[in-house]
Structure 1
């Protein structure tokens, strides 16, 4: 089922590819519905472990009208938050991997179901990304909530 704005999201995503037309052609015909897209051009991706990424996304949704795109892998074991290009090379957070210049990400076709990677927050097609400072605050809040929850169980 297509979601309104899918074509705009597609155009924005393929604009990062070295050859957007070839990328779009291949992506639309790939039976898995995924494409490899270069990080570090229009965005970087910060990859959090699922146990931190899911609650971080919950906090982001409270803080922002609309966070930037977020990917989840199969089983939600990792979540990828799209942030401005250059962020990955400056990020110092422990346990957070960064995909920046020279890295490639697997991205599903917007609005199309895949068996693995999927969008938790679809790109809006306008280039909205999550501010790294806001993402860091959301991560701290999510971690604090998890610690408080653990404390109540003890």
Structure 2
């Protein structure tokens, strides 16, 4: 799972949903809505190096996404469905980068 600050994550979700890119998979939010977690394929953590985010290492064995959020105190922003089970990490990286640039531009407006 790739975890990012909520503001950047929400922007990335919007970018992914508007793009002609593969669909965004399930997304978790923490109870305080401070962070979002994008479900990504097993092994993504090995090559994940995006500043401002974290990628949790998992074994990937028996990948099943439960209907109920797997993390206590969290909820689904985008629940699992019959579509894409996870978000493509390369597409997510691009969307998070674009989201960071949009946020920086908005914060630096005169």
What TM-score do the two structures reach when normalised by structure 2? Answer: 0.78
Contact 2:67–2:80, Cα closer than 8 Å, also in 1? no
SS at the partner of 1:146? helix
Cα separation, 1, equivalents of 2:13 and 2:26 = 11
Report SS of the residue matched to 1:119.
Answer: strand
| In 2, Cα distance between equivalents of 1:126 and 1:56 | 18
Q: Which has the higher contact order (CA 8 A, sep 6+)?
A: 2
> Is the Cα–Cα contact under 8 Å of residues 108 and 119 in structure 1 kept in the other structure?
no
Contact 2:27 2:37 in 1 (8 A): yes
Q: Give the aligned partner of residue 36 of structure 2.
A: 79
- Map residues 2-151 of structure 1 onto 2, 5 A cutoff: 45-63=1-19, 64=21, 66-101=23-58, 109=68, 116-125=73-82, 128-151=85-108
User: 1:86·1:101 contact (CA, 8 Å) conserved in 2?
Assistant: yes
| Structure 1 unpaired stretches of 5+ | 1-44
Once the 2 structures are TM-superposed, how far is the Cα of residue 67 of structure 1 from its aligned partner? 0.9
Secondary structure of the corresponding residue to residue 80 of structure 1 = strand
**TM-score, structure 1 length as denominator?**
0.58
Distance apart, 1:125 and its partner CA? 4.2
Moved over 6 A (4+): none
Tell me the matched-pair count.
Answer: 102
Bigger Rg, structure 1 or 2: 1
The gaps in structure 2 that reach 5 residues or longer are 60-65
Task: Answer whether contact 1:108 1:118 (CA < 8 A) is retained.
Answer: no
